[in-house]
A and B are shown apart, each in its own frame.
Chain A
């Protein structure tokens, strides 16, 4: 979905390096999410944010941190990357209903493929 963009799209890095993945959205949604996708495991939630001041851990937050710089921007950091963090990372957004229409349906970005050597 072009309304949710992620940078970079691909990244290869080495063990121990700090990496930041960025997500921006023009949908005007208040909620944003970070997931990782591993083959055969579906998507798993890393962190989610209800608004700029509300950030919460998901089911697999260890080794990751996030920053919600603005309503439209949500970045994911790997402080010291390790090989088992090699995965496809997705950002998603949803509207909790602040616009008056509740769906909370999540819309995904194109993903960032991260390889940690």
Chain B
């Protein structure tokens, strides 16, 4: 079955760029997602990329997709302390018309002043 892996922790200084990486195993995944979870809150959809795209940019966020290597990354430019959160990568797995999401374990991003 689909497996999604992320590193557990990333620490950066305010103003630097952050890059959070994710690998997945199912090459048939159509959509790949990034969610953000702030302390005490639910998962907030940040962005997603369709599998036929290599890159998607949305303000400070850049998503890169390498389908050959099944590698997804999220770059946050000019990282702010408010970006401190857990970031989840998720890949979809179509199953009888249902877009089942398989989540990684989450990467905790800590931004220091």
Residues in chain A within 8 A of chain B (CB atoms): 1, 4, 31, 40-45, 48, 50, 56, 90, 92, 94, 104-111
Given the known inter-chain contacts A50-B98, A108-B35, please indicate yes or no for A43 contacting B103, CB distance below 8 A.
yes
A42 touches B103 (CB 8 A): yes
Q: How large is the interface on B (under 10, 10 to 19, 20 to 34, 35 or more residues)?
A: 20 to 34
Give the CA-CA distance A40 to B40 in the complex, in Å. 16
**Is residue B66 contacting chain A, with contact meaning CB distance below 8 A?**
no
A94 touches B99 (CB 8 A): yes
Residues of B within 8 A of A105 (CB): 31, 33, 45, 48
A interface, over-half SS: strand
Residues in chain B within 8 A of chain A (CB atoms): 4, 8, 31, 33, 35, 40-45, 48, 88, 92, 98-101, 103-106
B interface, over-half SS: strand
**Complex A-B: 7 CB contacts under 8 Å:** A42-B103, A43-B101, A104-B92, A105-B48, A108-B42, A108-B44, A108-B45
Give the CA-CA distance A56 to B101 in the complex, in Å. 15
Give the CA-CA distance A105 to B40 in the complex, in Å. 22
Give the CA-CA distance A31 to B48 in the complex, in Å. 19
B42 touches A42 (CB 8 A): no
B43 touches A42 (CB 8 A): no
Tell me, rounded to whole Å, the shortest Cβ–Cβ distance linking A97 to chain B. Answer: 10
Taking A104-B92, A105-B48, A108-B43 as known contacts, 13 extra A-B pairs with beta carbons closer than 8 A to each other, sorted by chain A number, are A1-B42, A31-B98, A42-B4, A42-B105, A43-B43, A43-B101, A90-B42, A90-B43, A92-B43, A94-B99, A106-B101, A108-B45, A111-B42
